Amino acid sequence: MRKWIPIAAAAAVFLFSLALLRPEPTRKVAVAAADLPAGWTIRPEDVALQEVPQRMVPADALANPDAAVGKTVRIGRAKGDILRESVLGAPLVLGPDERAIGVKVSDASGLAGTLQPGDRVGVVAVVLESDRAFAKVTVEGLRVLYVDPAFAASVPEPLPAAAGGLSFSALRQRRGEGVVVLAVPTSPMPVLFRGPDGAEERRMVSALELLAALSEAQNARLSLYAAPPEARPFATSGLSLEDILPITRTQRLP
């Protein structure tokens, strides 16, 4: 019986070594054939098919290079990086009655970079005058076309690049401010103007001109708010902070 022990041990070592030498399961995925900057529209020559260890493949990796062609790179890709759905977007497409405009935002006014192309947003304008502040919803239902990649919220990339090692795309530093490009209708919109004498007048203005003026004005700030795809329209008269009376402890809300 004892003479079988060395044989059994040798067989176990042989099987263990065989398991170690067995090739790791792989999967073919689409990778960047060259460095692809953010905003780049992918061409057929920008994509390659490569064998990658199964453990390195993200759930949203593209298996077909053709699926990446024509899409826009939201977050820059280094050569050999796996192409994922989460870092690609549809190309910028405008309708005949739309124009694109960029607005400057920060974390507080740009929803912390969580916006993605195709989202719908509204714009609140805050105008500062001396010690007064007035806020008004100016336009809503605008379609997000593009988000500055340096401002966009990071896409988790815990896996190494297809070529081996850590992807440099995963090491980018996110900025707290950037530009969001919006699709704005060309049709005029009604805006209420208040003259020096307090009289109010309704005028039709271009949303493009209004957003451009507010974005560049030193005494104005723009804040974006997210809206559902089928948002019900609403209107407000705006709010001035000086019109808000503080509630004391002896007062109660109705």
- pLDDT given for residue 158 in this prediction: 43
Which band of pLDDT confidence, cut at 50, 70 and 90, is reported for residue 131? confident
pLDDT at 153 over 60: yes
Can you read off the two tokens belonging to residue 139?
A: 């336009």
This model's pTM is above 0.85: no
Can you read off the two tokens belonging to residue 39?
A: 């905003």
161-185: per-residue pLDDT in tens? 444 444 545 445 667 888 899 999 9
- pLDDT given for residue 165 in this prediction: 40
Phi and psi torsions of 150, nearest 5°: -70, -20
Q: What is the dihedral of CA 65, 69, 73, 79, to 10 degrees?
A: 40
Calculate what percentage of the chain has a pLDDT beyond 70: 75
The mean pLDDT value of the chain amounts to 79
Of the two residues 100 and 157, the one the predictor is more confident about is: 100
183-215: per-residue pLDDT in tens? 999 998 877 666 666 677 778 889 999 899 888
- Report the distance separating Cα 104 and Cα 24, nearest Å: 48
CA count, 13 A, side-chain hemisphere, 120: 10
112 residue type, one letter: A
Of 90, 123, 87, 78, nearest in space to 105 by CA: 123
Q: Among the listed ranges 16-25, 140-149, 165-174, which one has the minimum average pLDDT value?
A: 165-174
> Where do the domains of the chain lie, and which CATH numbers do they carry?
4-90 (3.90.1210.10), 98-152+175-243 (no CATH)
- pLDDT given for residue 8 in this prediction: 57
Of 157, 125, 154, nearest in space to 240 by CA: 125
